[in-house]
Structure 1
């Protein structure tokens, strides 16, 4: 038996017969699956606790909101199972089509989007609100993985490899960044890592970093709200108690810090949070603060451990043992997206990062982000099925 390099051309990979693929399939990564399920359970309890005051103040009931959350969670779970059964090579065939659709949706949200919490990120189609930025994120991760796989023979060529990939990355992140700077920044950083792993030239990657810094500077300066958040974050570091921190734009961060401090080691108890009455979005952006308050340092660290476990399983096991270059790059992209969103959400609540408004995957109140987090987890599970047998390396 001859070992096939994971750097094979994607056209050859996609052309693999279903019989050959089935012969290499094994069970999905159970540890990853269990981590996701535990996060979903953990999140459901935290959401139920955190929405009580919000529901009362918005003419609805906590039961109605938690039922809605559980329905969306169920859809995300079955979406994960469905994607785990759908071979990722099949998805690769439609990556360009997914990109074009996501671009149309991103332009559509700029023209017809609905504004919530001061940002126009949602598009309403048939009475259903969704965030096109999440669709574009998954589409870009898939397309970048496909392009890097296809171009391995000349991956360091500026015109044939780097520029075509840069075209898709810059336009997509630019369209997302107009209304959602933090998501665009994280997506570009993940694409940078994927390109580094895919052996793009360091000099060319430096160009991408320069474009990202310049674009970030322009996007921050064109929004008074973003500038205010950065200034508040700096003031919070220099002077823990200022008028802006206590009553202005830093109010929500300050309340999150109080929640974490109240939790101490073991927490105040499930459903006994008091800061949920003061945090503007305790069920979403600051869900980590509610968990830290009710479950204490132990609960907060357990949450961080689960995301760290996903990182280890996704990169060290699934990506490293993927049967081809496409699977490896896609596993890296999906894993980093899930984990970085979780870590950034925790970092914001803890005061380590400026307020961004990013949800914690599988934990925050459900929506488009929950559904596409399920899709990314499903892709990881599917890649883990098609891992290469290490024993074939030693056969010749």
Structure 2
């Protein structure tokens, strides 16, 4: 075994780490503001539509933002170690909510996926919150990797079975996108637990192929994939949304048509307030604005990753990296879909798209990241112990 000490951090690096929480919060508020402005512009179409006034939609979004910021503030002061300790209970609650998605009268399908439940007139997507619970649970299992836990069973086996159970439920419900995200969390756990890359890479490839195979067995998902492979042959069918999305982005040019002047939002582009809000922004504000937004997301993920890197322990590293990965991958999937680089899958754009479940997930994640930053290690030093392909990251 040899030890590699990495200590290249100078005074400027320390200063950056100290105000990284302010930077993360600033990026979050900027993205939220962009989302409110974009949604106000897009929702103007509802004045002529069935919802009569855009005010109801805007009121709901303001309500979600307000509630989300309150949760962000609360979770920024809750010690994430306490959340990790109670992660199994939280995950059990998430499993119960998952089951409600299959209960008639409570759960309901959206675009072929049984992943929503109705509570008090609001629709909630349990898979959004369970992502946080699973991140906390994996951190707990990472901490207990050398011992034994439930019924004297290895934590590695417990982790495999529980993650597999949630992925199976997601696949049964038709939510292949979140099943892939959950699988990526498991791969991250394997990496931080010291598994060799010769084991991790085949596992990653097998998981992606499994999700793809299940998708091909579902008629709705298979038709979407076929339409993606040849959009020109199904412009009026399954490829309609992505085709209209590309038209919107192309129409905007460099500087856009002007705020509020989108043509595609006038019922040409479905889901323009949720999954496909980014093309409307591109049409109205142009390429420069979309590149600026992409830069904001890149800055957010890098800042969140930086905070995770200086977590005081491996649990913080696991939780912070998981939440950074989830928000980053969801952003990447959404941008990939609206630009025609990935098959159509219902992923909202974090902080910007209309909707409460994903927005609450993102803002709670920011709160947990802020709490990790508040407990950062006073010594800016990373120690990596390595024996062959086995890694042990000490902070």
Please indicate the TM-score interval, normalised by the length of the shorter structure: 0.7 to 0.9
| Structure 2 counterpart of 1:8 | none
Q: Does 1:133 align with 2:90?
A: no
CA contact (8 A) 1:191 1:333 kept: no
| Structure 1 counterpart of 2:76 | 84
1:85-142 per-residue CA deviation (whole Å, 9 max, x = no partner) reads 1110111111001111111111220233112334322111333320111122111111
| Structure 2 counterpart of 1:360 | 349
Shift of 1:195: 2.3
Aligned match for 1:252, one of 228, 237, 241: 241
Q: Does 1:300 align with 2:290?
A: yes
| Structure 1 counterpart of 2:301 | 311
| Structure 1 counterpart of 2:280 | 290
| Structure 2 counterpart of 1:22 | none
| Structure 2 counterpart of 1:9 | none
**Which SS does the other structure have where 1:122 is aligned?**
strand
Q: Does 1:227 align with 2:222?
A: yes
Q: Does 1:381 align with 2:370?
A: yes
Q: Does 1:215 align with 2:210?
A: yes
1:233-272 equivalence runs, <5 A: 233-236=228-231, 241-242=232-233, 244=234, 246-272=235-261
Shift of 1:47: 1.0
Change (3 A) 1:341 1:213: closer
Shift of 1:211: 5.0
Change (3 A) 1:106 1:392: closer
| Structure 2 counterpart of 1:342 | 331
Q: Which moved more, 1:205-214 or 1:305-314?
A: 205-214
CA contact (8 A) 2:227 2:239 kept: yes
Shift of 1:321: 0.8
1:327-379 per-residue CA deviation (whole Å, 9 max, x = no partner) reads 01111000111111112111111111111010011100021111111111111
1:150-196 per-residue CA deviation (whole Å, 9 max, x = no partner) reads 21579xxxx73432221121111221233211121122123312321
CA contact (8 A) 1:135 1:372 kept: yes
C-alpha separation in 2, matches of 1:391 and 1:79 = 29
| Structure 2 counterpart of 1:333 | 322
Shift of 1:293: 0.9
Q: Which moved more, 1:168-177 or 1:262-271?
A: 168-177
| Structure 2 counterpart of 1:41 | 33
Q: How much is the aligned-residue C-alpha RMSD, in angstroms?
A: 2.3
C-alpha separation in 1, matches of 2:54 and 2:230 = 36
Change (3 A) 1:119 1:161: closer
Q: Which moved more, 1:165-174 or 1:111-120?
A: 111-120
**Which SS does the other structure have where 1:66 is aligned?**
helix
CA contact (8 A) 1:283 1:364 kept: yes
1:138-157 equivalence runs, <5 A: 138-151=132-145
| Structure 2 counterpart of 1:16 | none
- Normalising by structure 2, we get a TM-score of 0.85
How many residue pairs match? The answer is: 360
C-alpha separation in 2, matches of 1:46 and 1:120 = 29
Unaligned runs of 5+ in 1: 6-25
Change (3 A) 1:282 1:120: same
C-alpha separation in 2, matches of 1:393 and 1:138 = 26
CA contact (8 A) 1:259 1:290 kept: yes
C-alpha separation in 2, matches of 1:220 and 1:233 = 13
| Structure 2 counterpart of 1:160 | 154
Aligned match for 1:198, one of 185, 193, 208: 193
Unaligned runs of 5+ in 2: 6-17, 384-395
| Structure 2 counterpart of 1:351 | 340
Structure with more of its chain in strand, by fraction:
2
Change (3 A) 1:232 1:153: same
